[in-house]
Amino acid sequence: MAGVAAVTGAGIVCGITELPILGAVLLFSLFSSVFLITGAGNAINDYFDADIDAINKPMRPIPSGRVSRNAALYLSLSLFGLGIALAYTINVICFAIALTNSLMLIVYARNLKRTALAGNISVGYLTGSTFLYGGAPFGIPGLVRMSGLFALAMLATLAREIAKDIEDINGDSAMGLDTLPIRIGSRRAGYAASAFGVIAVLLSPVPYLSLGFSVWYLAVVMFADLCFLIAILRLRSGDAAGSSRLFKRAMMVALAAFVVGSLGGGA
């Protein structure tokens, strides 16, 4: 999903129909670098979270015994290196974003995930930055053009991450973590997640106005907004797990809206 978001960002800047002009090598490097770094982040997260996952998610690769902790670490470092190297072949901005995000993924997995709200904000930034990365091949103007989608993705991700923390509160509490639901309680954390989700919904028409998206964007994003609102209602009713899953699906629909909208718009 992250790699698709990066390519979508590039397509929005230059026009989806003009993507082939960028060249297969650049598109491959753009997608693959994000794919590799995302995979590295997942692996390093599993490495640091092995004890927590043994309580919350015992069927994850390391707790279940399918993968050793050392294997996950070596895989992660290898994928980080390959992803950063590919980013360097694009331009210095892509290299800087890839290096920064790789370091942030490591710090997040080791420290920030255990810090109330800071970890959620980190994941929100990392998710939104895939759109910035897609605009990076076009320099500073590309970054500016993607700033709105960056903000929307960050807000939606913040809502989902807090919902996930509410879902995992028992295991996180047993491990002595300091997540937002543990710090302020599930109810107040639910209010915070709902607020971020509502703001994302309210801002969803902005790409139509600022990026010249087609009216089809509005049609698809309305469905995504509906999913976000239902996810918020589920969260308020105490179904954090269902809410988290629906937030993720809503984000996928929103990504589809960005693609559809850019087909009729673009630069």
Q: What is the C-alpha to C-alpha distance for residues 199 and 207, in angstroms, rounded to an integer? A: 14
Average pLDDT of 70-80? Answer: 92
pLDDT digits (tens, 9 = 90+) for 217-263: 999 999 999 999 999 999 888 888 888 899 989 988 988 888 888 77
Q: 113: which DSSP letter?
A: G
pLDDT for residue 83 is more than 50: yes
Q: What is the pLDDT of residues 151-207, one digit of tens each?
A: 999 999 999 999 989 988 887 787 777 889 999 998 999 999 999 999 999 999 988
* Integer Cα distance of 225 and 110 in angstroms: 33
Residue type, 175: M
Q: What is the CATH code of the structural domain delimited by 2-263?
A: 1.10.600
Average pLDDT over residues 87-105: 96
Phi first, then psi: what are they for 68, rounded to 5°? -85, 160
Q: Which residue has the higher pLDDT, 12 or 97?
A: 97
Res 256: pLDDT: 87
DSSP string, 144-168: HHHHHHHHHHHHHHHHHHHHHHHHT
What torsion do the CA atoms of 226, 232, 235, 237 make, to the nearest 10 degrees? -80
DSSP-assigned letter for residue 178: B
Please answer whether residues 153 and 161 qualify as being in contact, where contact means their C-beta atoms are separated by less than 8 angstroms. no
Q: What is the sign, positive or negative, of the torsion defined by CA atoms of 9, 149, 95, 162?
A: negative
Residue 181 · residue 165 · CB < 8 Å: yes
Residue carrying the six token digits 């993607």: 146
Give the model's pLDDT for residue 15: 64
Output the six-digit token pair for 217: 């964007």
Domain boundaries, the chain: 2-263
pTM over 0.95: no
